[in-house]
Amino acid sequence: MNAANRITVARIGLIPLLVLFLQPFPDGLVREYAVVEWLDQYGMYAATFVFVLAAATDKTDMSPGPIIKRRIWASCLILLRTSCYY
Domain ranges (residues) in the chain: 3-79
What is the rounded distance in angstroms from the CA atom of residue 68 to the CA atom of residue 5?
19
Q: Provide the pLDDT for residue 8.
A: 84
Give the pLDDT confidence of 12-69 residue by residue, as tens digits. Answer: 999 999 998 898 888 888 888 888 888 888 989 999 999 998 888 877 665 555 555 5
Output the pTM of the full model: 0.62
Cβ distance 9 to 61 under 8 Å? Answer: no
Q: Provide the pLDDT for residue 79.
A: 59
Q: Provide the pLDDT for residue 58.
A: 76
Tell me the CA distances in angstroms from 61 to 34, 40, 47, 76, one per residue in order. 37, 32, 21, 27
